[in-house]
Amino acid sequence: MTEPSQLPSGGVSRATWAVTDYDLAKTLNCGQAFRWRRDERGWQGVVAGRWVRLSSDGGLLRAETALPQAAWQWLEHYLQLGLDWPRVLRTFPDDAPMRAALAACRGLRLLRQDPWECLASFLLSATKQIVQIQTIIERLCQSYGARLPTPAGSVAAFSFPTPEQIASLCESDLRACKMGFRAPHLLGAARAVAEGRLDLEELPALSLEEAREHLKRLKGVGPKIADCVLLFGCGFPQAFPVDVWINRALRELYFRNRKLTPRQLGAFAAEHFGPHAGYAQQYLFHYMRTRGEQKLSG
DNA sequence: GCCCAGGTGAAGC
DNA sequence: GCTTCACATGGG
């Protein structure tokens, strides 16, 4: 990572970073985050309560905000620009499935998302397709988030509703966003966080097992959603969410289609994929989902 | 209509 | 322990 160069113009602020092995399109569109939208100039999203447009240009990553920025740590942290990627790569097992996934998903990175948005989003993900999760979250933000400043001519943008904002609603308010049986789960999680019964900021200081148990106290949070929050929002690189795709991937690629329980798969993953198993998981997930598709440019 | 989707919890063996 | 099923909603 290099220091960003900054060129203010009007209310807008811009920055540029030199990156290697960083595929913005794959990273923003691989199913770890749900709020990024492609437009003619890049990707629009909301990070740390700010509207931002990201784009890539060869080895350069560009960012544009609606308001002046005194500093960019909030975005560098989200994009994990300080990560020593070659060091992560060296921890992966050298086997045929992993080599294929790495070749197919070159440049895919993990983001460091806000833990609350991550928890709420994955609570809404249960037995939903990614496009439908995106739609539900968009309705939630438009209905109950706060309007954010955007550049002239851009479509409206909204913050992700805080735990307090959601805690003040009732179940039918949430069901109006078409989240179905997930509504009481989201409401319960929002109230637990708003009332201080769950401290998301404390989780990174705990062991993986302790943090997982804290999250699983919430109704609607099992091992899969807990590990998504720990991997994408709390900085546990060894967390390994096992969903239908990973289940399929592991069985097909490592177990010749033998049937295994999620518990057995989790144990295998922890042993086989090493200290950054979660990164390996995201490569296998994206590899399985895009296998057979024509390569998209981004 | 039927089946599936980045699951979970309750109830049945 | 493991298996089965309901739970909302939308798309193929």
Q: Is the CB of A221 under 7 A from strand B?
A: yes
pLDDT tens track for A39-66: 999 999 999 999 999 999 989 999 999 9
Cβ of A219 less than 7 A from strand C: no
Answer yes or no: is A258 CB < 7 A from strand C.
no
Nucleotides of B under 7 A from a protein CB: 4-9
CA A185 to C1' B11, in angstroms, rounded, equals 21
A16 is near strand C: CB distance < 7 Å? no
Q: If DSSP codes are grouped into helix, strand and coil, which group holds residue A185?
A: helix
Dist. CA A141–CA A67, nearest whole Å: 20
A250 Cβ contacts chain B strand, under 7 Å: no
The residue among A87 and A2 whose pLDDT is bigger is A87
Top-confidence residue, A258 or A73:
A73
Q: Which residue did the predictor score with more confidence, A45 or A264?
A: A45
Q: Does any strand C atom come closer than 7 Å to the Cβ of A90?
A: no
A128 CA to C10 C1' distance (Å):
9
Range name among A66-70, A170-174, A182-186, A258-262 with the lowest pLDDT average: A258-262
> Identity (one letter) of the amino acid at A175?
R
Token digits of residue A126: 């249960």
Determine the distance between A230 (CA) and C12 (C1') in angstroms. Answer: 33
DSSP letter (8 states) at residue A36: -
Which residue is nearest nucleotide B4, judged by alpha carbon to C1' distance? A127
Q: Strand B closer than 7 Å to the CB of A223? A: yes
Residue A48 backbone zone (phi > 0: left; psi -120 to 50: alpha; other: beta) = left
Contact, A172 CB vs strand C, < 7 Å: no
**A178-236: pLDDT as tens digits:** 999 999 999 999 999 999 999 999 999 999 999 999 999 999 999 999 999 999 999 99
The protein footprint on chain C, as nucleotides within 7 A of a CB, is 1-3, 7-11
C8 C1' to A180 CA distance, Å: 4
Measured N-to-C along each axis, helices A262-272 and A244-254 cross at an angle, to the nearest 10 degrees, of 70
Q: How far apart are CA A93 and CA A110, in angstroms?
A: 18
pLDDT digits (tens, 9 = 90+) for A128-149: 999 999 999 999 999 999 999 9
- How many percent of chain A have pLDDT more than 70? 95
Cα atoms found within 13 Å of the Cα of residue A100, Cβ hemisphere only: 14
Report the nucleotide nearest the CA of residue A175, measured to C1': C8
Q: Which helix (H) or strand (E) holds A135?
A: helix A130-144
pLDDT for A9 equals 52
